[in-house]
Amino acid sequence: MAVSVRMDPLLEKELALAAKRQGITKSQFIIEAVERALGRKDPAALYHKVMEESARYRVGEEVPDDALSPIKAALRQRLRAQHAQQQDDYAAYLAERETKAQRGDA
């Protein structure tokens, strides 16, 4: 369904620039804005869903560390350490959010 909207020329220029920065059309930009305003697209909910799904993801162990070059083995260890830290940070965030929700601070 087509909808026509009148807007200030300056606002339309801002709309065009914002849409161009995102690489989408003005119509797509407006549709996404309306979906967010109506609660159909919640970036925070999407972020939490992705984080919860990634928390269950485990890296495969196809090649043992000793079979890798020293540089690749060191990189793998560093990535594992970063991943573990991110998991710990996210678990702490979820615990804090749950505590706030129970107290009614949210």
The dihedral through the CA atoms of 63, 65, 66, 70 has a sign that is positive
Instruction: Tell me the H-state helices in the chain.
Output: 9-22, 26-37, 43-55, 70-103
CB atoms within 10 A of CB 29: 17
The pLDDT of residue 43 is: 76
Enter the pTM of the model.
Answer: 0.42
Q: What is the pLDDT of residues 2-48, one digit of tens each?
A: 889 899 999 999 999 999 999 999 999 999 899 888 878 777 887 88
The pLDDT of residue 60 is: 62
Placement of tokens 């129970």 in the chain = 102
Q: Does 106 score more than 80 pLDDT? A: no
